[in-house]
Copies of this chain bind each other. A is one copy, B any other.
Amino acid sequence: MKNLLLIAHGSRRDASNDEVRALTQLLAQCAEDRYDRVDCGFLELAEPSIPDGIQQCIDAGATEIVILPYFLSAGRHVAEDIPNAVKIKQDEYPHISIHIANYLGQAEEIPDLLFRIAKSSGS
């Protein structure tokens, strides 16, 4: 069973965390045969934490978990904090494939997407 786990920073604003949860629901709805489940986790300030999010996937039967950092830049969070949090569960469940994908900001489609947004926003 294959699980996608979207990881956001987490915010003091509930609305920002809810925006991540809504995106997660949208991903789950259109995952089709790519993933059996899509969940989210937060680095800080919101629940579930990254280890708790991974545990929820495992409790639901995941045998393969792809962690996707919903971050725009490769700061300390992407380079250290997320891998460190993931490693807790990788060490605890060595027989489960837990893999960290590239972070969003690294996607080569970003420039074209930015031009599209700028254009469609009325200019």
Interface positions of A (Cβ within 8 A of B) = 2, 4, 6, 8, 11, 13, 15-16, 19-20, 23, 26-27, 30-31, 34-35, 64, 66, 68, 70-76, 97, 99-102, 104-107, 109-111, 113-123
Contact = CB atoms under 8 A, between A and B. Distances in A.
Contacts of A66: 118, 121, 123
Given A20-B73, A72-B70, A99-B123, A117 B107 contact: yes
Contacts of A99: 121-123
Given A101-B123, A104-B113, A113-B113, A19 B74 contact: yes
- Report copies per complex: 2
Given A70-B114, A99-B123, A101-B122, 19 more contacts: A8-B73, A11-B73, A15-B74, A16-B75, A19-B105, A30-B111, A31-B115, A66-B121, A66-B123, A68-B114, A68-B117, A68-B118, A68-B121, A72-B72, A99-B121, A99-B122, A101-B118, A101-B121, A113-B113
